[in-house]
Structure 1
């Protein structure tokens, strides 16, 4: 669950991250296919709202801040899978 109460879904083969609002049923694409986060496998939020994601296909860990800016933290972690903050 994200800081906004939505459930976040990492879609490795869909190459995107979506957020599901359980109260409305609305699904929003948070990190779109073809965006900065490629093949996200897992995600976790920090207290400041930053979303950290592992990218299993390219061995990366990326961070997406609450303003939507993404940066690659590491790109040398083969088969990166799972993350906690």
Structure 2
């Protein structure tokens, strides 16, 4: 499943582009994505901070900042429930 929309990472408003999959090897949901360019997150990552909270609406989950992409966005990964709402059937 892929998702994109407004989010808040470590208190910073961003646009998040993300997707995830169920991993049968460990039985957990793995998700990852990137933000649009956001200098505050780049500074946070480069200062050594990796563990963050991601908020989409009322949903909050823990995640990890991993790298800055060539366009100035920040890559974020998580395991467990994704921060975006589940698709409606």
TM-score normalised by the chain length of structure 2: 0.37
Structure number with the higher helix fraction is 2
Structure number with the higher strand fraction is 2
**Structure with max Cα Rg:** 2
Q: Which has the higher contact order (CA 8 A, sep 6+)?
A: 2
